[in-house]
Amino acid sequence: MSVDVRLVTEPASGAAPSSEEPADPTAVRAAAADLARALPEGRTSLARPGLSGERLTAYVEGLVLGGYRYSLVRPEPQRTVEIAAADDPAALDRGLRAARATVWARDLANTPAATKTPAWLADRARRDLEPAGVSVEVRDEQWLAEHGFGGTLAVGGGAGSPPRLVEAGWRPRRAAGGPHVVLVGKGITFDTGGLNLKRGQNMRPMKTDMSGGAVVLATLRAVAEAKLPIRVTALVPAAENSFGGGSYRPGDVVRHVGGRTSEITNTDAEGRIVLADALAYAVARLQPAVLVDVATLTGAMKTALGERTGGLFATTDELAGQLVAAGAQAGEPLWRMPLVPDYEAQLASDVADANNAPGNPGAITAALFLRHFTGGLPWAHLDIAGPARSGEDDGILAKGATGFGARLLLRWLESLA
């Protein structure tokens, strides 16, 4: 279930929202989300809301996201909101793009894992992105083996559905000579923990462990729909971390793209293993100006920052400042975390370049592990383990996957373009 928002030119029969609408865009989103949940099925007309710019964008986002509910019950209730004579149609369109990107990210992450194999995710990316002018290449397990994706193949080795790499690109002519941004999203379509098996209650939400991958694909679709004059590539290493005769084991050593090796000390620290391959591939083959990865990576980050704020690691102050500002504008807050050199020693391994589970502080050591695959480029790592999921309907959030990160990344790319 969702809310479809449309702009109409004729006067609306419905009443206008209160003239005491909150000025802060975050509060506007929350108020509009509450309104969306109270709307009846069918068509509702609203008189001009008296909002423009950021507040109108936030209002539209709140209507769409507040009315979201993932369900496989058919037929789904349909709600349409018509906003008459809006003062700023460009702001309304901007809000719709951002909200629809978030809805798509939520839908992908909420899809049950029995359906959402790596191949299914790749097919959905192709089906939904190519009509928007995005090129999509899907790399199968044979290609992954030929190109050194030892980490991705190891993580996906125990599943019945083999891994994939989704490489999606937006390259408009107007972007010639501009920066090439590469977004990398963790695409673990289900995470049992592998041989280091999770407890049942911790496994239950793991269909959403590919939220980072969903977010970067959704961001790219919004970039293409907006026709932003900036080159953007999204990479999603997709695998199911299951267990079976082909599972990777504690004590194994995997070789990543480019040759760096990782000793597996915990098969449940799999996200960084697939991200490492994709980051190294981006550096070696795509010539990016900046790298950003997004992942539900560590429980440690959820413990540190809770369920509403994403963790941010960045190698430059400029990049960190841009992303924090974009998050504040989008209502998706980030908190910068330190890349503390003192913890680098914990990555040591007797048999490989690093071990994949260096221990506490878990979010920091995970980021330090990933930094070795970024080639010294400007790089940011968004650990969204907390805000990627919600246990209840609250404000613009709906129970399940939240799509956190799509709107902030879109804001950031708009600022670069």
- What CATH number corresponds to the domain at position 188? 3.40.630.10
The mean pLDDT value for 352-363 works out to 98
The mean pLDDT value for 230-256 works out to 97
Q: Are residues 82 and 115 in the same domain?
A: no
Domain assignment of residue 96, yes or no = no
What pLDDT, on the 0 to 100 scale, is given for residue 73? 81
pLDDT above 70: residue 10: no
The mean pLDDT value for 85-92 works out to 78
Picking from 87, 122, 148, the residue at the C-terminal end of a domain is: 87
Q: Are residues 118 and 82 in the same domain?
A: no
Domain assignment of residue 115, yes or no = yes
Picking from 87, 120, 135, the residue at the C-terminal end of a domain is: 87
Domain assignment of residue 7, yes or no = yes
Q: Are residues 302 and 190 in the same domain?
A: yes
Q: How confident is the model at residue 365 (pLDDT cuts 50, 70, 90)?
A: very high
Picking from 87, 121, 148, the residue at the C-terminal end of a domain is: 87
Instruction: Give the span between the Cα atoms of 369 and 358, in whole angstroms.
Output: 8
Residue in the block written with tokens 């004729």: 10
pLDDT above 90: residue 262: yes
Q: Are residues 46 and 145 in the same domain?
A: no
Q: Are residues 116 and 57 in the same domain?
A: no
The mean pLDDT value for 211-231 works out to 98
Please give the residue that has the higher pLDDT: either 376 or 73: 376
Beta 290-295 vs 310-314: how paired, if at all? unpaired
Q: How confident is the model at residue 155 (pLDDT cuts 50, 70, 90)?
A: very high
* Whether the Cβ atoms of residue 65 and residue 31 lie closer than 8 Å to each other: no
Q: Which two tokens stand for residue 324?
A: 């924090």
For residue 241, what are the β-bridge partners? 191
Domain assignment of residue 99, yes or no = no
Domain assignment of residue 95, yes or no = no
Q: How confident is the model at residue 17 (pLDDT cuts 50, 70, 90)?
A: very low
Q: Catalytic annotation on 198?
A: yes
Q: How confident is the model at residue 49 (pLDDT cuts 50, 70, 90)?
A: low
Minimum mean pLDDT range among 41-55, 252-266, 337-351: 41-55
Q: Which among 221, 231, 272, 389 is annotated as catalytic? A: 272
Number of domains in the chain: 2
Q: Are residues 161 and 21 in the same domain?
A: no
The mean pLDDT value for 79-101 works out to 85
Q: Are residues 27 and 162 in the same domain?
A: no
Q: Which helix (DSSP H) or strand (DSSP E) does residue 292 occupy?
A: strand 290-295
- The pTM for the full model equals 0.94
* Whether the Cβ atoms of residue 338 and residue 365 lie closer than 8 Å to each other: no
Domain assignment of residue 61, yes or no = yes
Q: Which among 69, 198, 249, 399 is annotated as catalytic? A: 198
Q: Catalytic annotation on 207?
A: no
Q: How confident is the model at residue 101 (pLDDT cuts 50, 70, 90)?
A: very high
Q: Are residues 326 and 271 in the same domain?
A: yes
Q: Are residues 175 and 273 in the same domain?
A: yes
Q: How confident is the model at residue 114 (pLDDT cuts 50, 70, 90)?
A: very high
What pLDDT, on the 0 to 100 scale, is given for residue 5? 74
What pLDDT, on the 0 to 100 scale, is given for residue 382? 99
Q: Are residues 74 and 187 in the same domain?
A: no
What pLDDT, on the 0 to 100 scale, is given for residue 19? 44
Domain range for 308 is 108-416
What pLDDT, on the 0 to 100 scale, is given for residue 85? 55
Q: Are residues 59 and 156 in the same domain?
A: no
Closest CA to 161 of 217, 229, 242: 242
**Apex CA 236: angle with CA 368 and CA 174, to 5°?**
100
Domain assignment of residue 79, yes or no = yes
What pLDDT, on the 0 to 100 scale, is given for residue 175? 75
Q: Are residues 72 and 120 in the same domain?
A: no
Average pLDDT in the chain:
93
**276-322: pLDDT as tens digits:** 999 999 999 999 999 999 999 999 999 999 999 999 999 999 999 99
Domain assignment of residue 135, yes or no = yes
